[in-house]
A and B are shown apart, each in its own frame.
Chain A
């Protein structure tokens, strides 16, 4: 299947700093990528839909100024958690659309904010 690479896999940062997470489609072009957030023992919650060359579409309740999404190319989308606080600690996962319905997921990023 298609490969989606997500980096870093784990990041620890101090409260108030910003963290950038990258999501790359390695062997295909992804016009659409998705960002999910997952708390322990819970399901994946869609945060936003990232469209190449246009603004991201955020789900209700997700602060667009806090979670900045950039999809500058067909193979790269980034999620920046700005001024991170302990409550932002979570597992963040991206997925990419190959153009068909089947989505492929990155390996996730565990963010811990101290």
Chain B
């Protein structure tokens, strides 16, 4: 399950199960959202993105859902594998970010896949 406290929220799942990672964003005017995966000691890696005129987008084994009413974003990972273990961040580009593409990152969730 999930836990929130002084450490990163952690989601523990069994290998093969589906994972759902949630994110609440802050700016109702944001029009572009991205999920990143960060492994220990490395930079963030792009997973999937979605624009505010969509509510769902699918990639390979991943799906992003956007609920603008409650400013909520989720990342679903199907058939979670040990290699999916990492910290996942949602990020938003506020409307008007324009050419600078200033990304604002969420707090992150540590996904721990149990074999």
Q: Contacts of B96 on A, CB cut-off 8 Å?
A: none
Stretch at the interface among A14-22, A41-49, A64-72, A76-84: A41-49
Q: Let me know if A93 and B49 touch, CB within 8 A.
A: no
How many residues of chain A have a CB within 8 Å of chain B? 27
Stretch at the interface among B63-71, B73-81, B102-110: B102-110
Cβ contacts A to B, 14 pairs, < 8 Å: A4-B43, A32-B100, A36-B105, A41-B8, A43-B105, A43-B106, A44-B89, A46-B104, A46-B105, A93-B43, A95-B44, A101-B49, A101-B93, A107-B43
Q: Let me know if B49 and A46 touch, CB within 8 A.
A: no
Answer yes or no: B1 CB below 8 A from chain A CBs.
Answer: no
Q: Let me know if A105 and B45 touch, CB within 8 A.
A: yes
A1-B46, A43-B89 known; A49 and B102 CB under 8 Å? yes
Q: Let me know if B44 and A44 touch, CB within 8 A.
A: yes
Q: Contacts of B49 on A, CB cut-off 8 Å?
A: 101-102
| Closest Cβ neighbor of B49 among chain A residues | A102
Instruction: Kindly supply a per-residue 1/0 record for chain A positions 83-107, scoring 1 wherever the CB is within 8 Å of any chain B CB and 0 otherwise.
Output: 0000000010101010001111111
Chain B: minimal CB distance from A81 (Å): 18
Q: Contacts of B107 on A, CB cut-off 8 Å?
A: 42-43
In the bound complex, how far is the Cα of B47 from the Cα of A1, in angstroms? Answer: 12
Instruction: Kindly supply a per-residue 1/0 record for chain B positions 82-104, scoring 1 wherever the CB is within 8 Å of any chain A CB and 0 otherwise.
Output: 00000001000100000111111
CB within 8 Å of A: which B17-45 residues: 32, 34, 36, 41-45
Answer yes or no: B61 CB below 8 A from chain A CBs.
Answer: no
Which residue from A1, A45, A108 sits with its C-beta under 8 Å from B43? A108
In the bound complex, how far is the Cα of B46 from the Cα of A1, in angstroms? Answer: 9
Chain B: minimal CB distance from A44 (Å): 5
